[in-house]
Structure formats: structure tokens, C-alpha cells
Amino acid sequence: MGFASRSRKLTPERTLCAGPQTRARGTPRGLIALRPHIAEGLAQLVQTCRRHQVDIAVLSSGDQLTARAFAHRAHIDLLEQDNALHAIRARQKEGALVAFVSDHIGSSAAFSACDLAIGLTDDRFRIPARADLLAPDLPAITAIIEATARREATVRDSVGLSLVANILGLAWGIRGLPGIEAATRAVYITSLTAIADGWWRLRGGERKAATLPRLIDPRPERWGSRSIEQTLERLHTSEQGLSHQQASERQRQTSTSAGRNPLLSALLHQMRSPLTGILAAGAGLALLFGAAGDVVIISSTILVNVAVGIWQERKADRVAEALARLGNPRARIIRDKQEITLPTSELVCGDLLLLAAGDRVAADARLIEAHNLEVDEATLTGESFPVPKAPDAAQEANRIVLEGSDVTTGNGRAIVVAIGQQTRMGATRAALVQDEDQPDPLSVRLSRLLRIFLPISVVGGASVIISGLLWGRPLLTILATGATISLAAVPEGLPLLSMVGEAGVARRLAERKSLVRHLSAIEALGRVTVACADKTGTMTEGRLQLSLLATLDEQALPFQHTQSVSSKGGRHIEGALLPSPATPTNSSLEYTPSSRLPAEMSHILLTAALASPHPDAPDAGIHPTDRAVVQGALAAGLGKQIHLQHEEELSFDPSRSFHATLTHGRVCIKGAPEVVLNHCSQVMRHGQKQPLDEAGKQAWLVRSQQLAQWGLRLLMVAEGPPNTALDHPEGLTALGFVGITDPLRTMVRTAVQRCQAAGIRVLMITGDHPSTAHSIADEAGLLAEGGEVITAAQLAQLTNGELDQRLEHAVVIARATPLDKLRIIESLQRSGHTVAMTGDGVNDAPALRLANVGVAMGSGSTEVARQTADVVIADDNFSTLVEAFVEGRSFWRNLRRALGLLLGGNLGELGLVVGASLLGLAMPLTASQILAVNAITDIFPALAVALQPPEHRNLAGLRREGAGALDTRLFKEVIRRGLATALPSLAAYLISLGRDLLPQARAVAFTSIVTTQLAQTLASGRTEDGQLTSSVKWAVLGSLGVLATAFTVAPLRNLLHLAVPTPLGWVLIAGSTLLSVLLNRLLVSSAQAQISPEDQGADTQGSPELAKA
């Protein structure tokens, strides 16, 4: 019996009713009624309970009519009471075992009384009551019930088998005392049967462990909501920091965990792999029949897998090492009122941390003092621009500094509020060390193929032995042939084939500046349906660049477009074009000489550069914004002018929000528009100074807001007379704006279009403001087909089911944290998507680890991102990732064709021997000849097909076959190739056996079974334009050379018991080879004729289930 309280898990939306709204005279205007939304997974839970005869009921609470309606819609019995304790005890008195499910604190008493207490909780809702089991959602409850039912069935079967064993023992005892050995057989047989039955009933049912519930965002921004006094009181510290004694008492206990043995870990992982288990079974079978060659091949394959596992373990350890190195190894703090420097591992909460330009922040800390402090958080949040920090900043996040961020300018003091795993960087570390033991789909499919073909080979060998005995063949000969053909049909080369194919793709990608760190990512590249791209450093260049000069009614770009773009929405100014937000561009940009700019624009740029640190000053390159302005002026040919001496200078201060200098008889100022405008009384218009009133200032502010929608950081430029006070300037003249942006990478727009045409959706995830994200997405072409731009705050309010639906229409996620990215990727994977995630910062590392394919943008990426990623794009070109998708899709096509050749050839050999045996004919091949056929036809032709390069580079023209390529389509192809190999070879053998001696007939069968397979290899190795690839050509020529050697070298010919075929035999060989090609094409045409036009249309759109070879 199961009870459930009607909680937010069953009804995520609270029932709300709005009463009648009245006019002034009291007449009703309407009624609004909202009904509860049934949670995802409830229907499956109800079906599972009914299937296993488990009663399920819901307790009524609140409005009875609403409760009855809900129970009716959910098909659940309603208990007309809201006291869970009474309901549980009533059913227990009837002899029922009661499980109770709830998610709120009022369930404590019911949890204590029931037989099984299940608490519903996830990363957003915590249950304070004690429970026997915790489940994240209703599907988890379903899994619990399913597992319980399977366990009960297993116990029942075990008891029954035990009774059978006892009855058999009793029967033997009545008939007479059996020997000890005979008496134990019944026990052994039933015990093994019980073990097998338990494995069969309890197999499967795994639910992928969610990464996000195991990770909790420490949310250090919450400390920004507290005042400095509240923070000091909460941490029991002061503005002078801690004493050494206090720090010693708070020193966190560091426990050293035993390091993992990489060899042991790899061995255990391989032992758990079903593929290795099946291969080991095949090796045992080969050893039993004395096939030493197959034992060596299979054992070598297992050893290679172990070696790869050790390699992967070492690379996983390097990720944690790189992340540890990212933190500042030492920190400056105040202890006992004295400044000291100590390792970051010795920091404790409450320490007073000192910050200065060039420092890396050693812990999450609450600012208590700051002077001109700006911090680069790009690696943590993806924000391109340095973030001003102050104890009393408007936003709570700007009162906090985060571990791993860099101080770009200014200085400050902060109280440490979190260290180690409690920091945001610590949460990132936790995400990277999560053990993921999920087999990739390719290994699963290959294991399934082995499980299918291993019984087929055993049945084929048994058929040969049984039919041979029935036809009176010699026992030893029949046993040897049957065992050999069984082993020959086992595709032990499957793992080697996939690994070599992936290695070939990795080699080709390396030539295109893509480093594949994990070979298993190759197959996932061919299945990708959603590419999640980080904005900073992936879609954009990850550096600031001067992008705009503007006045109130004109604007210019200080560079020219090297590609043609539409001028719609922009205005030409002497060759310079400003595109509107609705007109995205993808042009490579080059600065033009200042002569190409109007004098007014050139004056704005020069003044902005002079209102920056002198190019020769030690701190000239510290602030990215100043660096972008100065570099822009230098590239525009203003180098001589900006080297004028600064007579007086006032550096940028976030509290002042502008930078001021006195140079060459005037004051130059640049800063925040709303601040600089307050100090302006005039405006420069077309070379003339005009008065600036409040209405004019408002117009300038509106203009700045419009330009900011393009994702720019805007700075206003103004000038004043030389007697202007730098700290309190008045009477300034407004000149215009300079716009700074992180520019879109070249070819990103083209790459996005290629992905969209191929059915791959590009989803941009960024920590930036929504307006900035919208601008970049528009420029990249992500909004060309519509789609939502939503924030992480909006996603946080959604249940998993609602999130899954919302993400199907989203193209941009703004204000996302590292843990938000994890939840987004998990949601996409839950919806059946194969996800590629690109990034370059520490904040991207957990998502890179979780995604099916993690891609790091190489040259500008952090070491953590590179170590975590599956693929590293060395040239930072987003279009290179598209080329990786091309290679991934081509890999699946080649693998399917190669497996078709390998498995089809083995099936053909099995069909030839079994067919001749069933017809009562002499064996067409001896044991040594069967092994020789495998050596000639199995590995090298299939490898040659697997190593073929893509037929073309058009991603949309390559089908996304994915794991479905190894299911029904492959089986049909294997059967087709098996028939095309076995039937012509068997026919040639029959005709030759009727006209020639047995040795010549066997030579015909031997040669035919080889040439029919090689002929089909040639057909599979051709491109769409009919060209034969070099790898296939050389593989076939090499195999033919080995075949010729078998007939021409006498010792080898005698070892294989081969006779030279007669002229008729050579004719039969040629005829069977030609017939195999024709038969294969006939079967292909017949299969294609059965495909409906609708299926063909869906096939060309990248559906994972394809019908055409």
C-alpha cells in the first residue's frame, strides 16, 4: 500500500482561485480558476503500481472538490481524510505494508509510523524530516517500486528452486544412497539456476545519476546582502582580521585520501564492461578448442583497452591538478594586526584578505574596503569586461570577490567568507571529480552485436557437428571444423575496428587543428543534435576591441569591412558603416587610417586615448578598456598624438566612474555616460560648441541606451579648459561616445548556418547581461529562425519537465552560472539530445565534463578547460568544430559499412560451411583454410573502409546516423552481404565438386569466399562520384596478394592443403565473384524500393533512424 501527500511534487502549481472582481457599483466582472498541474511521471507511477498490484492513494487536503478532481484526473484513489498518521495505522491493522511519500516537514510523524518513508527532495527543495529513502522525482519512486517487485520475484524463484533441489535429493534418497558427487549435482544446478535467474530479473533498470543534485551552488553573492557589520558578527571577526590563535582554532581539518591506483581502476572498469566480458568468454572458448591465434587477438584487445583506461585515468587526474594550480598558491592577509603571506590552504573564514592589482583572489570574500577596484571574472562567469567592485556597490554580486578571479586595477580589503569546497571554484572542482561510469553508446552497441553473433556462431558450429554426425562424417574432423567455424564467426575484431576508425578520424582532425583527447568523443560528434556554445572566447574573441565612435546623430566604425555587408539599418560615413542590431554581420575587421574618419570622429578617438594611461606608463596595459582604446587609436594612425605628455592625471575609480588627464592645454575625460554628462554644460556639434540643457542630456542618455543594445560598453568622451579641476570637473564639453566590445569571431555566423542546415541547434549560454547576449546572438545568426532569449533566473523557477519543454525553443541563456550550465545540459540529455558544449574558461569546465562532447577553444582557453575537454580546437575557429561534426557523421557511415563487411563476411563463411553440411556434402573448407580466410578478409579490408575520409565536407549532406546505424539497418546489411557471399560460393563449390576432385572443389570454395568479400569491399569503398579510395584499393590489392601467395608458395599451399583450381574452377571463381556483386546490388535495390517517400524525406533531414545505406 502506498500513500502520498498531495504536495508540490504531485502538483507543482498551487491551486489558485480568484474571486469575482467588482466594479464600483459591485457587479461581478469574472471568475478565474486554476487547476493543479499533474507532475511529470505520475502516470507511469500509477501504471507501475497497478502492474505489481500495489495500491496507491492520495490524502486529501484543503478544498475537497479540488482534491477529488485531482484524484480523478490522476486515476488515484482519494482518502477522505488529511491525517496521514491515522490512515497509515488503519491500513497496517489490515495487515498491509505501507510506504508513505511526502516532501514537507509535517510528515515527520507519518514517516515514523509507516513501514517505508520516502522523502521527495531535489536541489531546490530540501525536506527537513527523516526518511528511509530520498528520491529526486516521481520516476525515482517508480524505479523503487520496480526494483522491489523484481526482488520479490527473485526471492520467490530462489525458494522454489531450493524446494526442487530438496525434492530431488529426497527422491534420490528413497531410491538408494547416491554418491556424494551425484548428490551435490542437484544443489549445484539449482544454485547456478537461481543465480542466473536473479541476474536475469534484476538486470537493467539503471537510472543515469544526475550531476546537479550532488552539487550545491554556495551562492557567495548572499554575503553581499549583509552589511559589513553583519558579516563581521556572523564570522566572529573584525576589520583587523584574526589572531594566530583564532586562526589555528578555525583551521580546517584536511584529510588526505588514499590515491587511486590507476591500473586497478582501469582493470575494474574493464571487468565491468559487457564488451570485455563477452570477449573473455570468446577467448575461453577459443582456448578450449585450441585456437591459440584467436586467444592472442582477443587478449591483446583487452590489454589495449586496459592501457587506454590507465591513460584516461591519468588525464582525469591532471584536470584536478590544473584546477589546483589555477588558485593563487599564496595570499596576503592580516593576522595579529600584521601583514603576512601564507599558502592559501591555511586560509580560514574570517581572515582579512588584502587585494592589489595583479593578485589572484584566493577565496570568496566580502569587501569591506576598495579603491578603484576592478576584477576580471571572465574565467568564472564569462563576463568579458572587468567588473567594478565596492563594499557598497548597487548589486550584491559586486560586493563580493570570487576565488580564481584576477584583480586588474585598484586595491582593497575583504573578509574571507568561504574556502575550499565552499567557494564557487570549489563547487567547480566538485563537478570535475564526479565519477562518470556511463558506457558510450558505441560500446553498448558493439556489446549487443557480440551478444547476438556469439550465439549464432555457436549454433552454426553445433549445426555442422550434428549434421556431420548424422551424415556419418569422422567425429574428430567434424568437431575440429565445427569449433573452427564457430570461432571464425565470432567478430573479435569489433573493438579494434572501432578504435582504429576513431584514431583515423583523430588524425584527420589533427590536420585541421583539432586535438582529440578522448577517442570515445569521435562517435558522439556524429550524433550531436545540440551544440551549446559559451559566448566569451567561443562565439567571441575573448578580448576587448574598439568598435564604435558616435555622436548624438552620427556614428562610425574605426575599421572597414573586408566582406560585403548590407547597409540596411546603418549609415555610411566616409567608408565606415554601422550595422543595426537587426542586421548581423560576419565580416573580418581591419582598422583604417585616421584620414578615413571624419575630423569629428577622429577628435573623439584622440581625446578618449588621451584620457587613458600614457602608452609608455607601467600600468598602460592593465585595464582592458584602456588598452582597447589606445590600441584603436594606434591602429587608426594617431600614435604620435597620443604620446603627448600627461601633465596631470586622475586614474579611473569606480566611485568616480571616469578617467581624467591634463595634456596639451586641455582636460580629457572619458567615463560612464550618466556620470560625465552631469559635468557637461556644452556639446560639440559639427565643430561648434552649443549649450547643453537637461533635455539635451536626456537625449544623450537615450542615445547611449540605444547603442548599448548592440552589446557595447559605452564610454562618453568630454573635454574641458586647462584650469578644470580633475577630481570635480565642471563646464565640460561633450564630444561623443566610444564603444568597446568583445567582437564576434570570424566565420562564426557561417558555422552557425551550417549547423542549422544540418539539423544541429546552436544554443548560446553565457553569464552576460541579456541585452549583450541578444546582440551577439543576433550577429551570429542564432535568432534568424526565431527562438527565446531567457535568463538562468527564469529557468531556476521551472521544474525539470517544464525546463525540458522550455529549452526546446531557447537559443540563448543569459546570466548562467556553471551549475546552471550543468542543469541545462542534463535537461537536454534527458530529452534525448546528444550535446556538444564549447567553452574556454574555468566556469565551462563542469559542463565540458558532463556534455557528450566537451570542446575547448584552444589558444585562449584555460588549462582546466583543455584538460577537461574531449576535443581542443587549436585555432579557436568555431567552424573547425563543424568540420569535426563532418568527421563524426562520416565515422558512423564508415563504421556501419565496415561492420557490414566484417560481420557479413563471417556470416557468409558460416553459411557456406553450414549449407554444405546440411546438404550432406563434404566440408568445403578445412579448419586451417577457415582460419586463413579470416586472416585475409576480416581485418584489413574492414579497416580500410573504416579509415575512409568523408565523401564531402557538406555537413547537411551527411546523414546523422548515430547509434541507430548499428541496429536494424546494420542487421539487414549483414544478412544481405552474408547471402551475397555464401550463395555464390556454395553454388561454385557444388558445381566444382560434381566435376572435379574434392581438393580442387575446396580450392574453388576457398578462393570464392575470399574474392566475393573483396568484391563487395570494392563496392563499399567508392565515393558518391564513383571514385575508389586509396585505402580500400591498397587493402584489396594486399589481400589479393596474400591469396596469390597462398597458391604460389609451395610450403604455404601444402600447409593449407590447397590445390590449384582447374580452368573450370577459375571460371566458377570469376562467375561467383561477379554474381556476388550483382546479387548484392539486387538486394540493395529491393530494400530501397520498400522505403516510403516519407521515410526518405525524413532521412535526408538528419533523422537518427535511417533507411538508406
**CATH architecture label of 545-741:** 3-Layer(aba) Sandwich (3.40)
* Res. 18 pLDDT band, cuts 50 70 90: very low
Active site residues: 534
C-alpha cell at 150: 523484481
CA distances from 220 to 217, 240, 842, 864 (A): 8, 22, 17, 22
Q: What is the pLDDT of residues 419-448, one digit of tens each?
A: 987 888 777 766 665 545 556 667 777 777
CA atoms within 13 A on the CB side of 198: 14
Reference 263, options 302, 309, 303, 301; nearest CA is 309
Mean pLDDT of the chain: 79
Least confident of 12-21, 229-238, 538-547, 928-937: 12-21
Identify the helix (H) or strand (E) that includes residue 242: none
Q: How many CB atoms lie within 10 A of CB 159?
A: 11
Higher pLDDT, 64 or 614: 614
Look at residue 775 and tell me whether its pLDDT is greater than 90: no
- To which CATH superfamily is domain 2-19+31-136 assigned? HAD superfamily/HAD-like (3.40.50.1000)
Quote the pLDDT of residue 570.
34
Look at residue 842 and tell me whether its pLDDT is greater than 90: no
CA distance 326 to 319: 11
- End-to-end Cα separation, the chain, in angstroms: 52
* Res. 15 pLDDT band, cuts 50 70 90: very low
CA distance 941 to 485: 20
Identify the helix (H) or strand (E) that includes residue 690: strand 688-691
- Average confidence (pLDDT) over 552-556: 84
Q: Which residues contact 791 (CB under 8 A, 6 or more apart)?
A: 770, 813, 814, 815
Look at residue 503 and tell me whether its pLDDT is greater than 70: yes
Q: What is the pLDDT of residues 286-303, one digit of tens each?
A: 565 555 655 665 566 566
Strand partners, 740: 546, 713
Domains 2-19+31-136 and 514-540+747-876 share a fold: yes
CA distance 224 to 310: 45
CA distances from 476 to 75, 482, 849, 1040 (A): 66, 10, 56, 32
Burial 1042-1073 (b: 16+ CB within 10 A, else e): bbeebbeeeeebeebebbebbeebeebbeebb
Quote the pLDDT of residue 994.
87
Characterize the bridge pairing of strands 658-663 and 835-839. Answer: unpaired
CA distances from 411 to 227, 231, 372, 383, 388 (A): 20, 20, 7, 20, 11
Which one-letter amino acid corresponds to residue 1063? P
Q: At what angle do helices 939-946 and 878-918 cross, to 10 degrees?
A: 150
CA distances from 518 to 358, 611, 825, 854 (A): 35, 49, 19, 10
CA distance 1035 to 1025: 20
Domain ranges of the chain: 2-19+31-136, 146-202, 220-250+330-432, 265-324, 514-540+747-876, 545-741, 892-1100
C-alpha cell at 550: 558616435
Look at residue 163 and tell me whether its pLDDT is greater than 80: yes
Q: Tell me the longest C-alpha to C-alpha distance in the chain.
A: 124
Report the phi/psi class of residue 1067: left, alpha or beta, with left for phi > 0 and alpha for psi in -120 to 50. Answer: alpha
Look at residue 262 and tell me whether its pLDDT is greater than 70: no
Reference 836, options 498, 444, 383, 521; nearest CA is 521
Specify whether the CB–CB gap between 415 and 231 falls below 8 A: yes
Q: Which fold has domain 514-540+747-876?
A: Rossmann fold (3.40.50)
- Average confidence (pLDDT) over 945-970: 78
Q: How many CB atoms lie within 10 A of CB 742?
A: 28
* Res. 1096 pLDDT band, cuts 50 70 90: very low
Specify whether the CB–CB gap between 458 and 486 falls below 8 A: yes
Which one-letter amino acid corresponds to residue 494? L
* Res. 860 pLDDT band, cuts 50 70 90: low
* Res. 675 pLDDT band, cuts 50 70 90: very high
CA distance 331 to 328: 7
Q: Which fold has domain 220-250+330-432?
A: 2.70.150
- Average confidence (pLDDT) over 733-743: 92
Quote the pLDDT of residue 469.
83
Look at residue 634 and tell me whether its pLDDT is greater than 60: yes
**Under DSSP, is residue 367 helix (H, G, I), strand (E, B) or coil?**
strand
Quote the pLDDT of residue 853.
93
CA distance 341 to 347: 10
CA atoms within 13 A on the CB side of 170: 6
CA distance 888 to 526: 4
Strand partners, 2: 56, 99
**Under DSSP, is residue 831 helix (H, G, I), strand (E, B) or coil?**
coil
Strand partners, 669: 660, 718
Instruction: Transcribe 14-53 into DSSP letters.
Output: PP-EEPPPB-TT--B---EE--PPPPTTHHHHHHHHHHTT
Q: What is the pLDDT of residues 865-919, one digit of tens each?
A: 787 888 988 887 888 999 999 999 999 888 888 888 888 888 888 888 888 888 8
C-alpha cell at 368: 569591506
For 640-684, give the secondary structure using H, E and C: HHHCCCCCEEECCCCCCCEEEEEECCEEEEEECHHHHHHHEEEEE
Which one-letter amino acid corresponds to residue 442? L
C-alpha cell at 966: 548499428
**Under DSSP, is residue 100 helix (H, G, I), strand (E, B) or coil?**
strand
CA distance 263 to 477: 43
Higher pLDDT, 908 or 205: 908
Q: How large a percentage of the chain has pLDDT more than 90?
A: 24
Reference 777, options 749, 742, 804; nearest CA is 749
Look at residue 14 and tell me whether its pLDDT is greater than 60: no
Q: What is the pLDDT of residues 484-499, one digit of tens each?
A: 677 666 666 677 778 7
Instruction: Transcribe 746-781 into DSSP letters.
Output: TTHHHHHHHHHHTT-EEEEE-SS-HHHHHHHHHHHT
CA distance 544 to 796: 31
Long-range contacts of the stretch 685-688 (C-beta < 8 A, 24+)? 685/551, 685/552, 686/600, 687/599, 687/600
Quote the pLDDT of residue 897.
85
Look at residue 403 and tell me whether its pLDDT is greater than 80: yes
What CATH class is the domain 892-1100? mainly alpha
Specify whether the CB–CB gap between 334 and 352 falls below 8 A: yes
Quote the pLDDT of residue 1106.
31
Look at residue 766 and tell me whether its pLDDT is greater than 60: yes
CA distances from 256 to 110, 259, 527, 739, 1053 (A): 41, 9, 41, 51, 65
C-alpha cell at 1049: 608458395
Specify whether the CB–CB gap between 849 and 869 falls below 8 A: no
- Average confidence (pLDDT) over 557-584: 37
Quote the pLDDT of residue 334.
94
Q: What is the pLDDT of residues 685-731, one digit of tens each?
A: 888 899 999 999 999 999 998 888 777 889 999 999 999 999 889 99
**Cα dihedral sign for 297, 299, 301, 303?**
negative
Least confident of 104-118, 275-289, 931-945, 1081-1095: 275-289
Look at residue 669 and tell me whether its pLDDT is greater than 90: yes
Burial 957-978 (b: 16+ CB within 10 A, else e): ebbbbbbbbbeebbebbbbbbb
- Average confidence (pLDDT) over 669-690: 92
Look at residue 632 and tell me whether its pLDDT is greater than 50: yes
- Average confidence (pLDDT) over 929-935: 78
Quote the pLDDT of residue 480.
67
Quote the pLDDT of residue 892.
87
